[in-house]
Amino acid sequence: MKIKSMTIKLDEALHTRVRNLADGKQRTSHWLMREAITQYVDREEKRARFYDDARRSWEHYQETGRYVKGDEALAWLDSWGTGEEKPTPECQSER
């Protein structure tokens, strides 16, 4: 893995906060900022995938008119791991 350097400019107050937090965790400021950025990027990538999945689901519904009722889907999901799992709900169709 190739490591690249970036520079970040922080105002004095935030710089002090980062340093104090890093000191309290017995870590470097570099480690703390890298961890924060990694967590942020991971979360935003997951959010982007969620929105992409939702958009594709909506497009599929628009094309087919097929859907599963929310209460049936929740009841099915709630039954997972209970030993009495319910069957997959049937798709409904608007067409």
Q: What is the mean pLDDT of residues 43-52?
A: 98
The pLDDT value recorded for residue 67 is 93
- Which tokens belong to 20? 């104090």
pLDDT at 94 over 80: no
- Global pTM reads 0.72
Contacts of 19 (CB under 8 A, 6+ apart): 29
pLDDT at 95 over 90: no
Q: What is the mean pLDDT of residues 52-75?
A: 95
Q: What band does 42 get if pLDDT is binned at 50, 70 and 90?
A: very high
pLDDT over 70, % of the chain: 99
Contacts of 61 (CB under 8 A, 6+ apart): 67
